[in-house]
Amino acid sequence: MAGSFCARLMGDAGADVVKVEPPDGDRYRRSGPYPGGSPDPEWSGMFLYLNSNKRGVSLDIEAPGGRAVFLDLVAAADFLVVGENSSKIERLGLRREKLAETNQGLIVTSITPFGLTGPNSSYLGDDLIAISAGGMAYATPGIPDMVGDPDLEPPLRSNTDMAGYLAGVQGAVASVAALLSRKIQGVGCEIDLSIQETVAAVMPFELAHASYHEAKARRPEIFGVMPNAYLPCKDGYVVVMAVMEAHWRNLMDLAGNPDWAQLEVFSSGVERARNWDALEPLLLEWTMAHTGAEIAQLAQDRGIPCFPAYTVGQMVDSPHVIERGFLRDMEGPGGEKFNLPGYPVRMERTPWQLFRSAPKLGEHTSKVLEEWLGYSAEQLEQTGV
């Protein structure tokens, strides 16, 4: 996942990316969701997402013939992006020192669960392991949401491969940084990216608590000033944030200026935090009387940052997402319409574009071998790929 996403981002930036797949295809060809309803390796939604803007070559790099072709491709490449566990990388000989003898400019970007070095480098991992060992699971739910009952709410991950995407983006960052270094120094390098560390690296505030004071504990705890709360409402959940006095006064206006709003115990953000146990049920009376959409509308009109928990459908169908054209329009094998998330960055001079859809298995094998390696028709036949 992480390696595929990293390479896709490089293809998005205009690189000629060749995906090397085993003869039975990448694992995400078997992952779905399938727009046509039934499993079809050419129509796995996840494969389409992870591999657009790439060409595809099918090779068995563990068999002698395929390995020789693979090494030729690596010798002709600027980058090799590898997303495997470290034992497999060692076993397949994918470390840069082995590969760069004839290609000193080669940059190897290796993305592994725990990195290629260090005491735990041989450990196996996946998203759950990385989110846990990187500190994110312990920190979830995060402010202003909070753990209600520590016994019933263990550390939590999102039901998506968040760490994989994160490592993919960080891998692309590391790769482009290495490309800039190569411009200065003339030689490539080996990037050793640890998915565990990519998770830890995106929670600087969480780490700041541990580094400067004390780590946040997993228990119901009111910080600083209130209200900055995640509360149930008539049809779901909503964040109510009114930590600044002007926001608080506006919020009380919306709630009809109840008598309790004047109480000394709610007279400042700090007081409201101290007396949150008394304030929460009073605020709940107001939130439970409105839908999330009503609360957001009322509050945002007065500049108060309140917002409801959207379903995926509410996000997809929101006028904002539609007007910005964030989602990519796709069509399945039987004309089924669906969307993929698009690119989150608008670059004026180098805008994202779809150069090509994800490749079919082995679609560009001969073409790439001709173009990159100058193989003749005869050589192509001999290699038997």
Binding residue (CB under 8 A) for other proteins from 2, 17, 18, 46: 46
Closest CB 369 distance from other proteins, rounded Å: 28
Part of the chain binding other proteins (CB under 8 A), chosen from 73-81, 178-186, 255-263, 364-372? 178-186
Site for other proteins in 228-287 (CB under 8 A): 230, 232, 236-237, 239, 241
Asked if 13 and 54 count as a contact pair (C-beta separation under 8 A), the reply is: no
Binding residue (CB under 8 A) for other proteins from 3, 135, 227, 359: 135
Cα–Cα distance, 136 to 124 (Å, whole number): 18
Return phi, psi of residue 133, to 5°: -75, -15
Site for other proteins in 311-330 (CB under 8 A): 311-313, 315-316, 318-321, 323-324, 326-327
Q: Does 361 bind other proteins (CB under 8 A)?
A: no
Asked if 309 and 236 count as a contact pair (C-beta separation under 8 A), the reply is: yes
Q: Does 25 bind other proteins (CB under 8 A)?
A: no
SS3 157: coil
Part of the chain binding other proteins (CB under 8 A), chosen from 66-74, 282-290, 305-313, 353-361? 305-313
Nearer to other proteins, 346 or 353 (CB): 346
Q: What are 242's two structure tokens? A: 């009114």
Residue 105 CB neighbour total at 10 angstroms: 14
Binding residue (CB under 8 A) for other proteins from 63, 68, 71, 200: 200
Q: Does 63 bind other proteins (CB under 8 A)?
A: no
Which residues, listed in sequence order, are joined to residue 307 by a DSSP beta bridge?
239
Give the per-residue contact string, 136-155, with other proteins (x = CB under 8 A; - = no). xxxxxxxxxx------xxxx
SS3 383: helix
What is the DSSP annotation of 200-240?
Answer: HHT-HHHHHHHHHS-PPPSS----SSS-EEEEEETTEEEEE
Binding residue (CB under 8 A) for other proteins from 2, 73, 81, 191: 191
